[in-house]
Every structure is written in structure tokens, then in C-alpha cells.
Amino acid sequence: MAAARLRTLAHSGSLTAAASRRAPRSWPGLRALSTLSTTLGSGAGEDEIERIRREFEDAKRNYLSIPSAIRGMPKMNPQGIYVNKNVKLDDLQVYGFDYDYTLSHYSEHLQCLIYDLAKKHLVNELKYPESCLQFEYDRTFPIRGLYYDRQKGCLLKLDFFGSIEPDGCFFGRRKLSLSEIKELYGTRHIGRDQALQLVGLMDVFCFSEACLLADIVQHFVDAKLEFDACYVYEDVNQSIQHVHRSGLIHRKILSEPQKFLKKNSQVFRFLKMLKDKGKKLFLLTNSPFYFVDGGMRYLLEDQHFDGNSWRELFDVVIAQANKPTFYNSDHPFRVYDTQKDTLAFSAVDKFLPNQVYYHGCLKSFLQITNWRGSEVIYFGDHLLSDLRGPSKAGWRTAAVIRELEDEIEIQNSDNYRFQQAMAWLATPRAEPVAVLAGNPVFVCSCGMLPRTICHARKGRREGKREERNGKQLLEGSLMSTHAKLSLIHDILGKVNATVVSTKKGQVYRALLDELNAERRQCRAGMRDLFNSSFGATFLTDTGRESSFAYHIHQYADIYTSKLENFLSYPPESWLHPPHDIKIMPHNAKVPASLFSAS
């Protein structure tokens, strides 16, 4: 079996973790080019390599003037709304929300809590070795959007087209090399049959699950114990589910809300703004009502709310909805008695104010409310459980992705922007571009702030500018990394073409090897800016969009880092993707002309 093969490699010492690399301070590829003219004899080969060397040196000199040009380019807004499909906010009459990681957000203590409770369940109930209790959650290891291979036991990061990221395959906590990936899978591309064995880890709750899966596999490998990768997944997933379904995690959070929950008055402002504008609001969550009620009371206790008043914000409250089954089942709604903690037996044919409902299904929901299609938008953090069903039902969908803000901050830094070679610029507008029914229409695109809002927030951005500049100076050693990567890609193509047409192949091969090594170091430097194990959530090390980005593109009409970002946009806005974007609108492209010598 594949897992047994990996254990054999691990025990023999041939399966080792990839060594961390630092961005080099020198240009060995350039030095190789500089010395080739003395190595080669006279002839066409020498003339060609001399031409490539001169071009590379010109590009390197030109690179030194790029930072000033980059700083003049517009930045993507970390608090922006990014658009995959056109959405006219004024047409939206109904707003629906998930609870966990959408209305509420949690501190990093939550992942540690889930991890610890799950590992105790593995040991105490499923009789895993007691040594597993020594494991600790490593917040630097996982990212969202990974896959676990139930057959081979690997954690995978896939790109937009379903291929394994060369530096994104871990067996336990060991990173597999490209040759080991090909030996195990035959190719980097995951076929249809192989995909059936993959389990997506798509929401923030999956961080602890991904880390625990890797730690259990590594423990069995180190202890030289036989195991089946599928059983490991079933046991870990059962333990994670037990933590949620048993109420252990809910009771712990409510006992120390100040430790786990993050208060945010802006969420209340957003909800109240929608209500004041006459919008319909509903809450649709898998969590039990007592947990949602306790959390909302804590989150809104500073907003002069008391008792159950938070429910007045919502026209319909549905708990324990069992998403994603909710979207394709025929389960009936049940009225939940908040005082007696019981479910009524009478049929539900309308939603009454101040009532709480359990279970149900999308079909009944649509029949009762008569809410249809594009007038409804639903916000959630899990692309598959929360958004896939509404998207197929014709609702508009919005993904709330907390990591987006941090990743855009990194992509806005000068060093990261060197990697982009495709021209893409967008100019924000906040002036009315038309008048419909006597009302001005505003158009915003690609998360760029309208100018009026930019001016209003200028002071806050200025306050952060020094901090960002300081961070960029600390990352200065990586600035050359991103510039070099673009230059190396270009020069590799020219050298490859030269190799074909010359007999001096051995010398050229040495040059190619050095340039490829340089490129690997550049990619490692970029990956470490985000996450040293798996890199960015939305991008692969090669600059392609990730599989997680594919799911956002497919199931989210719009996406942003948090709900209150909508407060920065006029309620009459038309949100639309830029006409020339290829996949993800928040991935800005830098003109390749910056690297040309002319």
C-alpha cells in the first residue's frame, strides 16, 4: 500500500523533510553566465550566450530602479470587496448569515482547544497511544484549503487545475520531494479516481483537524507502527465531530467568552444599517441555539442590547440547520422552545417574529418566505457547506475569508509585487456614472476603495504606513528574490532554446541547473512570507491560483475578509469584476515592462 511504501522510505532515511532555504545574497546564475564565454569556444553558441548574458545584466541593472516605480502603483485594499460575478447591492433585499466565523470570530485559542479535546478523545475513547497526549497544536503549520488523501495519508495543497503543489505534499510532518510525489502518485495531476479519496479541509475549524492528522501519521511513522491512512482519517474526523456535537467546545467557549470570542461593534453597525434600510435578515447556522444566543449576547453586550434583543435584528433565526444537507433534503422545520429546550410537533407553514426554528430544508424555506433568486445573498465562511448549495439555488453568495486581509497586505508589499509579469491596473471611481429613477449609481470594482471613502480613511491608512514600511524594510532581503524570479523565468526560456541549437549541452545544462536552483530559492522565499509549510492560501508557489481559489471562483459571487467591509461601500454600488482579470480579482498584476531595458 502507498502508506506502507511511505513508511518504508521514512525508515530507510530516503524520505526527509525539505530543508529550509534562505534567499541567496548572490547571483550564481549570473556568475555562470559571465564565465561561459571563457569556457566555450568561438562560434554561434558563444555569441548567443553572450547576448543572453548582456540581456540578463541589463535586466538586473534595470531592476534596481523598479522599487520606485512599484510604489507608485495602486495597492489592493485589504478591507475590499472582491467580485467574481456582478452584484448590484441595491437589488439585494434579503441578507442571510452563517454564525461561526461570519457573524462571530474567534481567537487562536479556539484551534488549540479543538485540537486538545480531539486528541483526548482519540486516546480515552478510541484507545490511541497515550503518547499522543503530548502533541501540541502548531498554528504555523496548516492553511485553509488543504486535502487529506485517505488512501496514502498525505496532506496536499492543489493548484487551480488539480495538480499537487511541488512543495505542498506532506506525509505526516515530512515534506515529500518532487521525485517522491511522482513515485507515489505517478504524476502531479490528481485524476478523477484519485480525487475520490481526497477530503477537503475548507474552513477555519479544519486547521486543528489538518494538524492533528499530520501529527498522528508522523507519530505512527516514528514509532514504526502499522496503520491504515483511511482509519486515521475516520478516527480523527470522528474525534473532531465529537468535540462539536457533544457540546464540549460550545460550553467551554461560553464559560470564557473573553478568551475565545472577538468583539466587533462594526458587525452590529452593519446589521443595523441593513435593518434600517428595510432589508430582510435571516440567520442560518449549524450551531445549537443556546450557543449562538450566548455568543451574540456577549458580542453585543456593549451595544445597549439586553435579553434576547439581538434576535430583533433578524426576521428568521434557524439553528442546527445541518448544512449542507439543508440544501437538498426534505427535512421539516421544527419550532424550538428556548425556555424548555424542546421541539414542537406542529407543522411550520410560516415564520413568526421572535421564534427560533430548527432543522428544515431549502425547499420549505423558499416556499414559506417566497424569497427568490438574485434578491437574496448569503454570507458564509465554508465554501462547500455554506455556499455551494445557495449558489446552485440561484442565490447570490458572499465568502468571508479572514486570511484574505493578511495575504493582500503581503501582496501589497514591494517585494512580492516583483513576481507579477502581467499588466493589470484598475482605477477606482466613486463619481455617479448614471442616474436611474432619480438615484445616482456608483460603480466599484476589484476591492479598490472609492475615492470619497479613500479620503475618509486616509488618516487611518497614514497611521499604518510607517508600520508597513518598517515591515517592508525587514523583508528587504526578499525584494531581490521576487525580481530575480521573473528574470530567471525569462532567461531560462532563452537558455533552453539555446541548448537545443548547440553542441555545448553539458555547459548549458550546468547553467540551467544553477538557474533552477535560484528559482527554487526564490519560490521558497515567497512561500515563507505566507506560511513556511504550504505558502499562500490563494496562490501556489508558482504563482498559479490554488484549488481553494478555484472553489471561491466557482461558489462565491463576492468575497471579503469581514462583514463590516461593506460599510465602506455606498449601498447603491454595482460590484463587478474588472473586464481583464483572469481568475482572482485581488491578485494584482505588475507590468512586465518594468523589467525591460528600454
- In 3D space, the residue among 546, 572, 561, 549 whose CA is nearest the CA of residue 401 turns out to be 561
- Long-range CB pairs of 185-189, under 8 A, 24+ apart, other chains included: 185/152, 188/163, 188/164, 189/161, 189/162, 189/163, 189/164
The pLDDT assigned to 49 comes to 58
Clarify whether residues 144 and 231 are in a common domain. yes
Last residue of a domain, one of 528, 561, 593: 528
**Residue-number span of the structural domain to which 57 is assigned:** 45-74+414-431+474-528
Residues annotated within the binding site for Mg(2+) are 98, 381
CA distance 501 to 42: 15
CATH number at residue 308: 3.40.50.1000
Same domain, 244 and 149: yes
456: in domain: no
Pair 264, 301 in one domain: yes
> Is 179 domain-assigned?
yes
Q: How many Å apart are CA 88 and CA 65, to the nearest integer?
A: 42
Compute the Cα dihedral for 237, 238, 239, 240 and give only its sign. Answer: positive
Q: Domain for residue 25, yes or no?
A: no
The pLDDT, as a whole number, for residue 524 is 78
Q: Are residues 218 and 295 in the same domain?
A: no
- Using the structure block, give the residue that is written with the C-alpha cell 503518547: 131
Q: Judge contact between 532 and 21, C-beta under 8 A.
A: no
Q: What span, in angstroms and rounded, lies between the C-alpha atoms of 245 and 320?
A: 10
| Shared domain check, 143 and 112 | yes
**pLDDT, tens only, 347-390:** 999 999 889 999 999 999 999 999 988 899 999 999 999 999 99
- For the record, the C-alpha cell of 169 comes out as 505534499
**168 sits in which H/E element:** strand 164-171
pLDDT at position 271: 93
Task: Pick the closest to residue 309 from 279, 274, 354, 361 (CA basis).
Answer: 354
Tell me, yes or no, whether 312 and 233 share the same domain. no
State whether 270 and 285 are in the same domain.
yes
Helix (H) or strand (E) holding 411: helix 403-412
Q: 10 Å Cβ neighbour count for 442?
A: 21
pLDDT at site 192: 82
Residues contacting residue 303 through CB under 8 Å, at least 6 positions apart = 265, 268
Residues of the chain with pLDDT under 50: 12-43, 420-480, 500, 592, 597-598
Q: Using alpha carbons, select from 201, 581, 162 the residue that is nearest to residue 383.
A: 201
- 290 and 392 housed in the same domain: yes
Active site members: 98, 100
Inside any domain, residue 557: no
Q: Answer whether residue 184 is part of any domain.
A: yes
Do residue 115 and residue 187 come from a single domain? yes
- The answer to whether residue 123 sits within a structural domain is yes
CB contact set of 426 (below 8 Å; sequence gap of 6+): 74, 445, 446, 448, 578
**pLDDT at residue 332 in the model:** 95
Q: Are residues 276 and 382 in the same domain?
A: yes
Residue 2 pLDDT:
52
304: buried, middle or exposed (CB in 10 Å: 19+, 13-18, 0-12)? Answer: exposed
pLDDT at 34: 42
Question: Would you say 241 and 210 are in contact if contact means Cβ atoms under 8 Å apart?
Answer: no
Q: Which of 464, 499, 528 is the last residue of a domain?
A: 528
User: Which pLDDT score is estimated for 454?
Assistant: 31
Q: Which helix (H) or strand (E) holds 44?
A: helix 44-63
Q: Within a domain: residue 560?
A: no
Binding region for GMP: 100
Q: Are 45 and 538 in contact (CB under 8 A)?
A: no
CA distance 394 to 311: 27
Question: Is 99 found in the same domain as 63?
Answer: no
Residue 175 domain flag: yes
Q: What is the DSSP string of 533-572?
A: TT--SSB-TTSPBBHHHHHHHHH-SEEES-GGGGGGS-TT
Cα–Cα distance between 419 and 68 in angstroms, integer? 16
Q: How many domains does the chain have?
A: 3
Cα separation values, 458 from 70, 78, 463, 578, Å = 20, 14, 9, 24
214, 230, 256 — which closes off a domain?
Answer: 256
Q: Which residues are annotated as a binding site?
A: 98, 100, 381
User: pTM of the entire structure?
Assistant: 0.78
Q: How far is CA 30 from the centre of its chain?
A: 36
The distance of Cα 42 from the centroid of its chain, to the nearest Å, equals 53
Q: Are residues 138 and 250 in the same domain?
A: yes
Whether the link from the prior residue into 257 is cis, omega within 30° of 0, is no
pLDDT, residue 194, reads 86
Q: Supply the pLDDT for residue 235.
A: 97
